[in-house]
Chains A and B, each alone.
Chain A
């Protein structure tokens, strides 16, 4: 016999710009089964209680990176966080921290998208290559150099975990740096010189104070803090070694 569903209290930080001056908490008692995620809890609320509740989601399997939100104050993917693990406590759901709230659980992510564009997250060939030269070949060792950093799904949990980004949103931030690192480490890529000015700039790596929470919350074990901090060394080398270079020499 199937067990009767239990009921969990889900409190959502609502923000409807046309009626709310500032965000307000709204609670719902949601019946749930053991296989239900927080995302499914929100979908239940939208279907049964209030169709105006807004949130982003797509894949339901922790790969699209759309459903990130603060769950009990911690940045998490709501599709891979289960209500059974939070019961019997009340669940508090809020839009990802450090981003402006567009509506309810939907954030304004323009800043992150702008940063993604700026870092040129694609392979920039070292020299022009004709189609007739065929595909690039890469050994498993060469791939191992960057593979960890290529697992980023752009979910922005790391930005919601980064107080330095919250205090100063001009900081390039963890995920963008992980992607900079991913392409710089790729032996097919020759784009480092194009990405370096941003990495070494005022908005660059040295805004990081090694809090390390970005890597704790990363659902894909990318370890963005590692990418940022390795590049601090690179940035310091770039700053000091330029004094040793002959005048007029190219970086």
Chain B
């Protein structure tokens, strides 16, 4: 750009962009819940390692799970999971190609509800299986 050019486009900084709009704050929160999912995956992975190290290690891992701080952590992680699930299926219609049933395009709300219902059914099945194995 020559010195005689009066053009001087101003580029605004992006610092703190996600705090400037409630939509972005929610986006960061729901993306953040992925860390809850990762944390629980690590918790389960620790269980697998404990199992590999023998009965004593396994039992102490189980005892650790039953401790009050662990129960509190599970409660917090569960809330994170629920919000994660809710927001995941909310964005799902935006990621799918059109689904046609009887020549009509399936509505976004229907796709979200179907996803949430599938998650609920899967959760109930896992819970029933766990309850059966525990009894």
Contacts and interface: CB of A to CB of B under 8 A. Distances in A.
A84 to B, nearest CB: 23
A74 B21 contact: yes
A167 B6 contact: no
B6 A216 contact: no
Contacts of A209: 31
Nearest to A75: B21
Interface in B87-132: 91, 93-97
Given A163-B18, A167-B17, A229-B95, A23 B10 contact: yes
A225 B8 contact: no
Given A167-B14, A226-B95, A102 B9 contact: yes
Interface residues of A, number: 30
A166 B17 contact: yes
B115 to A, nearest CB: 14
A97 B23 contact: no
Contact of B10 (A17, A215, A230): A17
Interface of B: 6-12, 14, 17-18, 20-21, 23-24, 27, 31, 91, 93-97
Given A73-B21, A230-B97, 19 more contacts: A17-B8, A17-B9, A17-B10, A18-B6, A23-B10, A23-B12, A98-B12, A102-B9, A163-B17, A212-B27, A212-B91, A212-B94, A225-B94, A225-B95, A226-B95, A226-B96, A229-B94, A230-B95, A233-B97
Interface of A: 15, 17-18, 22-23, 73-74, 97-98, 100-102, 108, 163, 166-167, 209-213, 215-216, 223, 225-226, 229-230, 232-233
16 contacts: A17-B6, A17-B7, A17-B9, A23-B10, A73-B20, A98-B14, A100-B9, A100-B10, A167-B14, A211-B23, A211-B27, A213-B27, A226-B96, A229-B94, A229-B96, A230-B96
